[in-house]
Amino acid sequence: MRARSVLYLPASNERAVAKARGLPCDVAVLDLEDAVAPEMKAEARAAAVAAAHEGGFGPRLGVRINGLDTPWGADDLTALQGAPVDLIVAPKVESAASVRALSEGMRPGVALWAMIETPRALVDLRAIAEAGGALKGLMLGVNDLAKDLKTGASPDREPLKPWLAAVVAHARANGLSVIDGVFNRIRDEAGFVAECAQGRLYGFDGKSLIHPSQVEGANAAFGPSAEEIEWARKVVAAFAAPEAEGLGVLRLEGEMVERLHLEQAQDLLAAL
C-alpha cells in the first residue's frame, strides 16, 4: 500500500486530528512523542485511542509512541493493543533488540515502522533492518540525526546524503517501506518540492510531513506522473506483442528496454 504522504498530528490537538480526517494523506500518524509535553502524555494517549476507535482517517492510521526507555513508552504500547491502528511508529530505534521488544508488545497484524535518527542507529542499521518481527518500514528522522551528527546546514542535505542512500538500501534489501524525513520550512514551497524530488531520486517511498499543506505536494512527488504511466503502459504492451515472445530486450521509441523494465512498469501500474 502506498505511503507517499505520512502526516504527523499532535494527538492532543483535537482540532488538528479532526481536520486530518478530510485530508488525502496516505498515512496519518497521531503523535504522542515530540509534539506532546510531558504533563500531557497520558491525556494525549487517551485521545489517540479514542480517535482511532472513531476512525475516518483514510487509507492508514498510525501512532508514534514514546520510546520504551521513557516513562510513557510501555503504557503507550499497552493502550494501543486494543486500538484499531494499522501501524506504530517507534522513535530512536537503535538496535535489533529494540525491534524485538517493540514487536512483542504489539497486537498481531499491526506494522512497526522504526525511526532511524541517531548515530547509533546508523552504525547498527543492518541489524535493525534485518530484525524481523513486526518491522515493516524504516523512517528517517533528519532533525535529530543532523543534531546528533553535528552537521552544518545545507539546502540539499549534503552531509546526510550517505545516510539517505544507506537507509534506502537496507530497507530495500529487507523488503521494508522507507520514508524520508520532514521538511521544516512550511512556507518554502520551492524547497519542499526540491527535497521531495531528491527523496524520490534516492528511492524513498514517501515523505514525513508536519503540515497539511504539504500533503498534495508529497502525493504528486512520490506518485507516478502522467508521462511515467503512459510509458509503463507502452512497455507492457510492447512485451505483450507476439513479436516480443521469447525476447529479453527490445527497442521501444529509440530506447533499449529489458524485462527488468517490464517488471518496473507492471509494479507501477499495479500500484495505481
Q: Are 79 and 45 in contact (CB under 8 A)?
A: yes
Whether residues 172 and 207 fall in one domain = yes
Whether residues 78 and 201 fall in one domain = yes
Number of domains in the chain: 2
Give per-residue pLDDT as tens, 2-57.
Answer: 899 999 999 999 999 999 999 999 999 999 999 899 999 999 999 999 999 999 99
In sequence order, what are the beta bridge partners of 30? 9, 63
Exposed/middle/buried for residue 236 (C-beta within 10 Å: 0-12, 13-18, 19+): middle
* Helix, strand or coil, per DSSP, at residue 82: coil
Residues 6+ apart with CB under 8 A from 22: none
Whether residues 231 and 169 fall in one domain = no
Whether residues 190 and 215 fall in one domain = yes
Mean pLDDT of 215-220: 96
Give per-residue pLDDT as tens, 51-99.
Answer: 999 999 989 999 999 999 999 999 999 999 999 999 999 999 999 999 9
Whether residues 36 and 62 fall in one domain = yes
Whether residues 204 and 160 fall in one domain = yes
Is residue 271 scored above 80 in pLDDT?
Answer: no
Whether residues 215 and 118 fall in one domain = yes
DSSP string, 182-245: ----TT-HHHHHHHHHHHHHHT-SEEEESSGGGHHHHHHHHSPPHHHHHHHHHHHHHHHSGGGT
The pLDDT of residue 272 is 78
Specify the CATH number for the domain of residue 50: 3.20.20.60
Whether residues 192 and 247 fall in one domain = no
Residue 155 domain boundaries: 5-222
**In angstroms, rounded to a whole number, what is the distance separating the alpha carbons of residues 165 and 198?**
11
Give per-residue pLDDT as tens, 238-267.
Answer: 899 888 888 889 899 989 999 999 998 898
Question: Cα angle at 207 between 171 and 102, to 5 degrees?
Answer: 50
**In angstroms, rounded to a whole number, what is the distance separating the alpha carbons of residues 46 and 80?**
10
**pLDDT exceeding 70 applies to what percent of the chain?**
100
The pLDDT of residue 244 is 84
Whether residues 88 and 148 fall in one domain = yes
Whether residues 173 and 249 fall in one domain = no
